[in-house]
Structure 1
Amino acid sequence: MKAHTQETQAAITPDIAIQLLKEGNERFVASKMANRNLLDQVNDTATGQYPFATVLSCIDSRVSAELIFDQGVGDIFSARVAGNIVNEDLLGSVEFACKLAGTKVFVILGHTACGAVKGACDDAKMGNLTTLLHKIKPAVRATTEPTDAGQRNSKNGDFVNDVVRNNVLLTIEDTRSLSPVLKEMEDNGEIKIVGAIYDISNGKVAFI
């Protein structure tokens, strides 16, 4: 399998980009990964890159976007930060990826049992992590059930996963409100901004 070229990238629409990621995840789950020579793709991309997607995921060691979407060298821009939150630096990176480098979809990828989300649920504090977890707090507040304070912590897996979902949805809202560049591209149909959840127990990605 060859790396993407300027021509193949240009032929990909936002919907096709999402479908390519879905098909890649299906291959990953079925252990039928595409036949590709990564070193050949290194050579193919030595003079330029034409990825079709940008994925923001958590730094969790189990959530490597290239692996779980079965993509090769030069296929996706992969941004990672605990809790898959956005800030000016991340959004600047994504603006480059979409506006200048031509990717067609921006995926905010959360995952089940996220440690950063658990920390936000428990109001954990430690150095710079305190500031990062504060950015996930709105998702904790947006998760209204259960109302029993004793159930609103990292020991309640269902609660944690509901916060994970809300964190993805709020990150999509933050992207649109904090990045006029990406919002305009989405409004013009040049890209799609979507959310997804990776299940660490079975390898499946569910798009929201």
Structure 2
Amino acid sequence: MKAHTKETQTTMTPEKSLIFLKEGNERFQNNLKANRNLLEQVNDTSDGQFPFATILSCIDSRVSAELVFDQGLGDIFSVRIAGNFVNEDILGSMEFACKLAGTKLIVVLGHTSCGAIKGACDHAEMGNLTKLIEKITPAVNAVTTPEDEGSRNSKNLEFVNEVSKKNVELTIDRIHAESPILSEMEKAGEIKIVGAMYDINTGKVDFY
């Protein structure tokens, strides 16, 4: 499989880009990697890159977007931060990826048993991590069940995973609210912004 070129990128649509990722995750789940020569892709992309998707995911070592979607060099922009939330810098990176570099799809990818989400559920405090966790706290507060405080912590994995899903939804809301560029591109049908959850037990990505 060759790296994407300007010509192949222009044939991509938001819908086709989503299908590519879904097919890649199917291959990953079945341990069937696409036949690609990474060194050849290094050469193919030496004069430029033409990715079709931008993926915001957690820094978790088990959730590498290139691996779980079976993509090669030059296929996706990968933005990673603990808790997969957005800030000014990440929004700017996404705007560059879509408006200037031509990607057709943004995926906000959460995952089960997320350590950053667990920290937010436990209201953990430690150095700069405290400020990071504060950005995830709105998702904790938005999940209203269970009401019992004793069950609203990292020991309750069902609660943790519901907060992870809510965090993805709130992150997409922030992209729409805080990036007029991306919001307008989506309204015009130039890009699509979707949420997804990766299951660390199965390797499956469920798209919203």
TM bucket normalised to smaller: over 0.9
- How far apart are residue 50 of structure 1 and its match? 0.4
- How far apart are residue 106 of structure 1 and its match? 0.4
Give the whole-Å Cα distance in 2 for the aligned partners of 1:128 and 1:15.
38
Under a length normalisation based on structure 1, what TM-score does the superposition of the two structures give?
0.99
Instruction: Tell me the residue number matched to 2:204.
Output: 204
Counterpart residue type for residue 75 of structure 2 = D
Instruction: Tell me the residue number matched to 2:34.
Output: 34
- How far apart are residue 119 of structure 1 and its match? 0.3
Instruction: Tell me the residue number matched to 1:125.
Output: 125
Give the whole-Å Cα distance in 2 for the aligned partners of 1:189 and 1:113.
34
User: Following superposition of structure 1 onto structure 2, how do residues 76-95 of structure 1 map, counting pairs within 5 Å?
Assistant: 76-95=76-95
SS of 2:160 mapped into structure 1: helix
State how many pairs are aligned. Answer: 208
Give the whole-Å Cα distance in 2 for the aligned partners of 1:98 and 1:200.
28
Instruction: Tell me the residue number matched to 2:169.
Output: 169
Instruction: Tell me the residue number matched to 1:185.
Output: 185
Give the whole-Å Cα distance in 1 for the aligned partners of 2:127 and 2:191.
36
- How far apart are residue 121 of structure 1 and its match? 0.3
Q: Mark the runs of 5 or more structure 1 residues left unpaired by the alignment.
A: none
User: Following superposition of structure 1 onto structure 2, how do residues 52-91 of structure 1 map, counting pairs within 5 Å?
Assistant: 52-91=52-91
Instruction: Tell me the residue number matched to 2:48.
Output: 48
SS of 2:193 mapped into structure 1: strand
Q: Does 1:6 align with 2:6?
A: yes
- How far apart are residue 94 of structure 1 and its match? 0.6
1:41-87 Cα distance to aligned partner (Å, 9 max, x none): 00000001000000000000000000000000000000000000100
- How far apart are residue 20 of structure 1 and its match? 0.2
Give the whole-Å Cα distance in 1 for the aligned partners of 2:163 and 2:14.
27
Give the whole-Å Cα distance in 2 for the aligned partners of 1:207 and 1:126.
33
Instruction: Tell me the residue number matched to 1:157.
Output: 157
Counterpart residue type for residue 203 of structure 1 = G
SS of 1:186 mapped into structure 2: helix
Identity percentage over the alignment?
68
Under a length normalisation based on structure 2, what TM-score does the superposition of the two structures give?
0.99
SS of 1:84 mapped into structure 2: coil
1:152-178 Cα distance to aligned partner (Å, 9 max, x none): 000000000000000000000001101
Give the whole-Å Cα distance in 1 for the aligned partners of 2:166 and 2:136.
9
1:108-161 Cα distance to aligned partner (Å, 9 max, x none): 000000000000000001111111100101100110111111000000000000
Q: Mark the runs of 5 or more structure 2 residues left unpaired by the alignment.
A: none
Give the whole-Å Cα distance in 2 for the aligned partners of 1:144 and 1:135.
18
Give the whole-Å Cα distance in 2 for the aligned partners of 1:71 and 1:86.
23
Instruction: Tell me the residue number matched to 1:143.
Output: 143
